[in-house]
C-alpha cells in the first residue's frame, strides 16, 4: 500500500497541515462548510460519503443522530488513515472506485464533494449516484465553478453553475433541486505561482506550454479572472429523488 500523500492538492489531511499553509487551511474550512451544509440536509438512515478522503467529513456527518455513514474512497492509504483516526459504531470505511461502487441496500443520503470534476465520465457518475438513492433520498454534490483544470493536474473537467446543473438534469432528470451553497475563496497569485506552500508544489508544471496546447483553457482562465478577479468559486447543490423510485 502506498503511503498517504499529504502534499497533494487532492488530499487534505487536517492533522498534517503546516502552520503557514494558509491556502490549505482556507480550503479545509471550505470543505467543512460544505459538510455542515450537507449535514443540514441529511435524511435519517444510511448515508454514503463517496470520495471521503481521510474521513473527517464522514465523521462530521456521523455525529448526527439517526444515521449510519459509509465512507468510500479509491485511496487505500486514505481509508486506512480514516479507520484509525475516526473509529465509531456509526461509521464504516470501504475502498472502492467511485464509478464502480455499488451497494444493494441503497442510501437515504449521498454526499460526494469535489468528485465530479475528477472522473473521466462525470455523467456516468451522476447516473450511478442517482441510482443508489432510495426513494425520497437526497443527493449532495459540489464542483468548482471557476476554471481548475489548467492549474490542478488531478482535475478532468471545468464546470460553470449552468453546465453542472445541465449535466445533472440530463443524466438524472427526475431529481429536483432543493438547496444551493455558493462559496468564494480569494486566491493569491503569488502563493500559486511561487509554490511557496507545500501543497502548491503539486500544481501543474509548464503552464505556458499547457496554454499553448490548450488555448481554450487559457480563454476560460482569462474570462473567469476578468469576471471574478483572483478567486475560486464553488457550488454545492442538494437534490431530492422522487418518492416512487430512483432519480434516473
Per-residue model confidence as pLDDT tens digits over 2-32 = 767 766 666 778 887 777 677 778 888 999 9
Question: pTM score > 0.75 for this model?
Answer: yes
37 has a pLDDT exceeding 70: yes
- Whichever domain contains 80, its CATH number is 3.40.50.150
Residue 21 domain-assigned? yes
- Supply the DSSP symbol for 110: E
Residue 248 domain-assigned? no
Can you tell me the mean pLDDT for 238-245? 90
What pLDDT sits at residue 115?
Answer: 96
Closest CA to 10 of 70, 60, 52: 52
Domain count, the chain: 1
Residue with the three cell numbers 418518492: 243
Residue 4 domain-assigned? no
Q: In terms of residue numbers, what domain contains 119?
A: 14-240
Residue 3 domain-assigned? no
Q: Are 187 and 22 in contact (CB under 8 A)?
A: no
160 has a pLDDT exceeding 80: yes
Q: What is the pLDDT of residues 91-118, one digit of tens each?
A: 999 999 999 999 999 999 999 999 999 9
Determine which of 12-16, 114-118, 124-128, 243-247 has the lowest per-residue pLDDT on average: 243-247
Residue 228 domain-assigned? yes
90-126 burial, b at 16+ Cβ within 10 Å, e below that, comes to: bbebeeeebeebeeeebbbbbbbbbbbbbbeebeebb
Provide, rounded to the nearest whole percent, the portion of the chain with pLDDT above 70.
Answer: 90
Split at pLDDT 50, 70, 90, the class of 246 is low
Q: How many CB atoms lie within 10 A of CB 237?
A: 20
Residue 119 domain-assigned? yes
Residue 151 domain-assigned? yes
Residue 247 domain-assigned? no
Amino acid at each position: 500500500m502506498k503511503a498517504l500523500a499529504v502534499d497533494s492538492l487532492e488530499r487534505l489531511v487536517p492533522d498534517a497541515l503546516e502552520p503557514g499553509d494558509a491556502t490549505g487551511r482556507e480550503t479545509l474550512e471550505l470543505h467543512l462548510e460544505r459538510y455542515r451544509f450537507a449535514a443540514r440536509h441529511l435524511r435519517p438512515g444510511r448515508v454514503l460519503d463517496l470520495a471521503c478522503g481521510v474521513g473527517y467529513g464522514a465523521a462530521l456527518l456521523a455525529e448526527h443522530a439517526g444515521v449510519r455513514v459509509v465512507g468510500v474512497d479509491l485511496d487505500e492509504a486514505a481509508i486506512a488513515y480514516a479507520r484509525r483516526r475516526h473509529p465509531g459504531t456509526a461509521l464504516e470505511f470501504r475502498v472502492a472506485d467511485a464509478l464502480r461502487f455499488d451497494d444493494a441496500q441503497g442510501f437515504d443520503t449521498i454526499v460526494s464533494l469535489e468528485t465530479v470534476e475528477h472522473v473521466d465520465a462525470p455523467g456516468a457518475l451522476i447516473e450511478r449516484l442517482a441510482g443508489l438513492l432510495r426513494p425520497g433520498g437526497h443527493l449532495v454534490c459540489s464542483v468548482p465553478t471557476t476554471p481548475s483544470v489548467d492549474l490542478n493536474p488531478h482535475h478532468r473537467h471545468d464546470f460553470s453553475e449552468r453546465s453542472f446543473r445541465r449535466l445533472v438534469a440530463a443524466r438524472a432528470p427526475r431529481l429536483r433541486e432543493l438547496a444551493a451553497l455558493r462559496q468564494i475563496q480569494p486566491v493569491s497569485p503569488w502563493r500559486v505561482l511561487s509554490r511557496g506552500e507545500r501543497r502548491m508544489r503539486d500544481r501543474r508544471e509548464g503552464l505556458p506550454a499547457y496554454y499553448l496546447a490548450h488555448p481554450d483553457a487559457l480563454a476560460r482562465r482569462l474570462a473567469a479572472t476578468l469576471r471574478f478577479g483572483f478567486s475560486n468559486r464553488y457550488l454545492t447543490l442538494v437534490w431530492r429523488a422522487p418518492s416512487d423510485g430512483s432519480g434516473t
